[in-house]
Amino acid sequence: MSATYRVGEYYTDLSNPAAPVVYRCMAAGDKTSSVWAQVSGASAGAGFNYRGAWNATTTYNPNDAVLLGSGTSSGLFLSVIPANNNAPDSGIGWVQLCSYATWL
C-alpha cells in the first residue's frame, strides 16, 4: 500500500542533521505523483535563521525558526510567510518542525 500525501503537508529531510530541509506538498498524490516545493534549505534561501524564543512583538520572515516553550503545541517552528506576526501555535504561516509537548 502506497502513502498518499495531501496539499499543505510538510516533510522535513533530516538526512544531513546540520542542514535540515523542509518541503511542502503542492499537489496531492503518492510518492511518485505528488509534487513538493522546498521551503527551507540552501536552494530555498539561506537556510534556517534561528531567532530564539518566539516574541509576540517581533515580525518574522520565511526561514525564521523560533522556539515556543509552553502550551500543548510547544516546540520548534519555522515561518513560511513574510511579515509573519501570527503566533506559531496558530498554524498561520508556521510549520512545526518538532514538538516538546508532554502527552497527558
Model-level pTM?
A: 0.56
**pLDDT of res. 59:** 96
In terms of C-beta density within 10 A (0-12 exposed, 13-18 middle, 19 or more buried), how is residue 60 classed?
buried
Q: Locate CATH 2.10.10 in the chain.
A: 49-99
**pLDDT of res. 71:** 76
- Which tens digits make up the pLDDT trace of 33-89? 888 777 766 554 456 788 889 999 999 998 888 988 877 788 888 888 889 999 999
Model confidence band, residue 100 (pLDDT cutoffs 50, 70, 90): low
Domain 49-99: which topology?
Answer: Seminal Fluid Protein  PDC-109 (Domain B) (2.10.10)
Q: Quote the CA–CA distance of 15 and 3 in Å, as a whole number.
A: 20
pLDDT at 104 over 50: no
